[in-house]
Structure 1
Amino acid sequence: MTCNTSPIRILYVEDDKILQLSLAQMLEILGYEVACADNGKQGVEKAESWQPDIILMDMRMPVMTGDQAIQVLRSKPDTAKIPIFVLSAFTDAKTRELCRQVGATKFITKPPDIRKIDADIKELLRLDG
């Protein structure tokens, strides 16, 4: 009997290098395989080439914003169904509605709670944790 023990692949798209590094390290400690991108454009490119199981996406970034990146990802067959959790410090109704409209799976308020993110990922992907 064989088990698939491949780690869940998370793409974290975040322009704040300190937050990017700290959250990526925490996710790796929890057993996830993490790749990072610094803006929405890099995030789209990495998602297409790496095919993550889930994407964590900041909203306000240079080059391409999170909502623009989500729209591009949702328009492409290879990335359209990848769950996308938005992480944002902007919690107003307009931002949340924009996330919903472009196809975000979940909205998470910054600063993120790593235990909550871990639980949400496992619940979404129906894993025992």
Structure 2
Amino acid sequence: MYDVYSRSKLCNILFTISLHEKLQSTGVTTYTLHPGAISTNMTHQMQPGFKNILDFCLYWMFKTPIEGAQTTIHCAVAKNIEKYSGSLFSDCRIVELYKTAKNPELAKGLWSLSEKLVKLE
């Protein structure tokens, strides 16, 4: 499960970097956001025993929805953030990308594949 999430987040980062490059001269900015683990009502239909354990973990270890929204709000309204367009943000701060996420050829390949999948090429 984590491997699938990691790959989807990598694709999100690569796509955002490509989109930033394509929109750079337009004044439109792009950011990849990681809100963190957020406590939601995802446990409301679970079996009581497991639900109680997970609810305990959610309460102590996860962010509230309001806390989880802060990075999105930050990137939408912060002053002088434009120079960081294309960056990854978590907890309202820039996160250094791993080498794979900085690979321009991988980003171009993902963009090309995306165009093919939605028939825009």
Is the shorter-chain TM-score for this pair beyond 0.5, marking a shared fold? Answer: no
**Is the strand fraction higher in 1 or 2?**
1
**Is the helix fraction higher in 1 or 2?**
2
| TM-score under structure 1 length normalisation | 0.25
| TM-score under structure 2 length normalisation | 0.26
- For CA contacts below 8 A with separation 6 or more, give which structure has more relative contact order: 2
